[in-house]
Amino acid sequence: WDFDHSFGREGDGEPMNDKLCDLTQHILFKRLIEINPNNYLQKLNARFLSLKKQDILTVKNIFELIDDNVKKLRPEIEANESRWPLNEVSYFKKSSFEMEVNRMKEWIENHLPKVEQHLNVLQKR
């Protein structure tokens, strides 16, 4: 369940609650934002809106995808946790598989509208 720098966790595993990942920290995205080749930012925003309209990038659909994966992963959780115990890292000591799934869902519900707003602002540059 590796989701570094996404869905509610920073790259070091610490909780990420109130912000989006800073794309300018990634060299390729930074350049794409700076120079906007071939109207990249406008196309990115249009693609996001198209996927939203198709009910692909929606909270409901993403939750369904997560739930489908949870069903597939659940039988393997005990083996995974015995190999990589959660209590090895301080901020995971009070966590569980279910709590992490809920963290992802909460992050998606709170941040998907922020992603849309961010892309809309970027494409107007």
pLDDT of residue 43: 96
Main-chain dihedrals φ then ψ at residue 15, nearest 5 degrees: -60, 140
**CA gap 86, 93 in Å, rounded:** 6
Sorted by sequence, the CB contacts under 8 Å of residue 36 that are 6+ apart come out as: 42, 125
Binned at pLDDT 50, 70 and 90, residue 47 comes out as very high
Report whether 113 contacts 48 (CB < 8 A). Answer: no
- On average, the pLDDT of the chain sits at 85
Binned at pLDDT 50, 70 and 90, residue 81 comes out as confident
Sorted by sequence, the CB contacts under 8 Å of residue 60 that are 6+ apart come out as: none
pTM of the model: 0.79
Report whether 109 contacts 59 (CB < 8 A). Answer: yes
Residue 6: strand pairing partners: 9
Q: Dump pLDDT digits (tens) for 26-46.
A: 899 899 999 999 999 999 999
